[in-house]
Structure 1
């Protein structure tokens, strides 16, 4: 290897000579020197194990301090706290409680505590040392009160009595802070109301000259002069609250005021005009002494400190009257002139208090689903729980008992009753013996729509659709009008503007051809229905009679007979009722006795 040229790759280390030693680079990229520890590991070990005593020798220890016992170190060092406790006074009309100040001493020598009450002249109570110097128990576990438990603004309990610590002296504060405690800020000592009252009684009396204000002059100059303020009570913050307008009248003659509510037509409120009666109103009726028995006694001028005056009413500001906040938004001209002459006010900016209503969303009615009647289906869209359709009660009161009843002549006969009160129809079929058809009520009372009309805009049958020869289609059943009673003609003649003239003429001509035998047939059919009731239950006949003989006179009249027929779904035409009464009794006044009623019903 020695003969090889000194070229890269031709130099080799001899592994048999010595051992490899790592050599750290001294310069880095760019030729900058690399800083590293120049000390070797041996030097570092010597520095770590270096002991100054090996060089300078053993250090001399300081002599021990003299032993001082605790009763000597803490002798005459006492922590002082100022405090008080309240003592209830029973059976005394002049006072309810007394505030008794005390000084609490904590002796650091033996952790004992004493409580001393300073002497107050003529207090009437024994004072001095309340608790002798001793260690006071803190709880039932045997712990005693320690200075670490004492601080300003806390309550301590000694033998069941609660003391409030309010302050401490400078030595106590410095000592507690030196021990690492945070001392609270001092509190004020409350005053004893009984002692203050005695001081006021013992002080020199002062007298005030009576006021030169003449009430008679106020009456002569300010009588019938009233300030008027327009205001609103904004209660929208509460549930179902609203803005309610009021007027406040302030009477200058005696400084009283009243609050009147402004009512509007159909506002839904009871018409009570006065919300607050006329009297002197205090600014704050709750600003009274806590000892005043408000439950059993009324407030007087002695308890109330200040009343409302005209200065408290300003346009654009709120005024509180018994907890209600009224916004004064305007006043009348006399009030403005009064404020100008007495207070120099010239600007009275009115406030707009009109309540803006929100645009309510419009409800869209869905199309008719062909289930039930139109009115019943519509109720399911108007409310969560469908209600029966509302009736026109005004129309019912005006047109009640105005029904059109008359039997038909050809083939199967029916009686169509049309109620003018609610535009409802009822169809009744008189029973025919051996006809094979059960007579009675053919159609319940309901409104009938015309055929081929749109379901969302139905057209119902009206009185003008009923005339002689008219065809009425009721739920796919066609009925031909062949006759009518006299009341129909009278009603049409009274309301000629609602019916064509040819309808009235044809009805008049038809009624002139009516035979008397039709009335007898109808009376016999009504009598047959009553007889069926007598056959099935004879006691029911007496019950029906006594039901309408409420005065127990033993007689019923034509109105009672009409109500009886109406309850049994029988015709109640005047001709039919008169014919029934004439067959029941011979009384000229038309009165029917119980015996006559039994004979009429039971006899064939």
Structure 2
């Protein structure tokens, strides 16, 4: 639209042609150059032309006074700083009856770095209009006749109305950063303005309420329930007792409740060889109604009710749904209706819930607090009832003592000779697994009237896999088989009987025990380290190796005279006692109720023996450098590269397995046991990560040179079995033994030895006085007074 003189009417023929008097019709330049070539690079600046009312002065930034503008460019000072204003504008709606306009919310962004403005409209679902970027980022001019200048920071504030390309926006609010920035610039920011009501939205809300009141929501969104409880199923165990009807039986059922959609399926558990089909589905997965009168007819379970149907075809016909939805809603079983001992109605069949699985128990415990419900009882199944009247167990003929009892019993059961059945599960459990042999070995001696037999040495091995015992004699040439491996019957049992004889079990085997094998009496004198360690690990099965039971028994015996025991056994110079000293004292105190194996268990638990290191770090390093020198190995740089390749983060730490892999990959002329010994002496942190820089220094001859060593058999000397460990228990830590007894509190409660003697003397004097007073007469007061003195 051309500019016109405001004094003349805007009519055809009354406007001025702006081209009158012009001689140049070229396009005006929008930009100009600032800065001379001698000052440096020239830059572009936007020109501001004077209008018909006179020239306009340049707009200075509103943040600073004239002449005080900073030399730093604004794109650097105000980088990523944007002012945000909330605004709205009214849009006329001529085609909507009852709503002359609608309110549309927008956000105005003012970029401080270049003074550009962007207008965006937040997207609202189902708004009916295109929303998003309302006005792209650009510098916006004032409306005519001030269109030579642009909007600046002082033109945007709460309560102001701005016009962008003919559309008027009302600013009602701003964010916290904008308010703080304008306040610091000296611009007062008013309080936020309330957004006016939108008559179009009010109209739509009224229409929606009217529609919802007539047509209620028929479907329910269950996607949230599905996502939360998918693959989570509650499992109950129950039954349906149908034994009263003809040919009926007790149905054992599994009830599955799916939390994702509140459906139930019931599966019948059919026992093996019952004559019925297995895997029978009692009820397919569906929602189970609570009330049942009869089978539903066609259309009874439809989600909608049809009032009128017009037309024969589905696609061409028309139908009307019930707008009021007056149909009665069916109630279905939910999770809160299921619990132990509750009864559910499955289409006329009463199903009783008796138990649930651990997941269901934890679910109801967390949600409903039901964690103390005991399982219900199952009724008696008449079909499985067996009459036991007059039925006797099979009586085998008496065993004659020849062969084994199992072999003789097997021949009596079947006509065809068969081998006795072996306990295969026990064999798999206690068979040899790596270094764990499951064989208990004891050293024994023979009790005999012949002195030469008493000097013979034997080894008795008990095999846990089949409860057999093998006896071997140790001689100069090695060992010989004294008794073949076989189960040993405990002597003294009747032979001619039908009951199986009792045999030696692992609990009969302990140090100090006496066993009789084929009329030979053996005394177990010692056990190997594996046997002692195995029995201590499985102390719940072996009471002779259970330290708690042993110490409880010792504690009860020592409680009356614990003070004298400590005074007698307290070591003078150190806190260490020998095995023999403590053993002799405990045997005198405990009596026959104390075995050698129990004493060995105590000595191993409170052992004061220490292991002497055979190869220390310096000796292992000297041996390693000698071996590397012998084989002319000197490739530390490549070894360092391999370590760095394994450590991309350059932490300087690697695991033991990674260090072992690198050392073996570099083909060091060292044995595997030698490499393991090196890693045993390398520095490591609290997370068991090894410092590979220490390994490089360990193998570097230039760092702390060492003299060559005499070559030794490294494969044998570095083998773990070559270093004999000291026999545990020869020295006993008295402090640890006394602390475990925990009887120090009895010092104050227990009288001393002198006080006990004084009490006994008073009792004797009291009894003498009573005898003199009574002069031989029978008097009942004496025992009473004596008991009173004892009580004191």
TM-score over 0.5 (shorter chain): no
Q: In terms of Rg, which structure is larger? A: 1
TM-score by length of 2: 0.26
TM-score by length of 1: 0.33
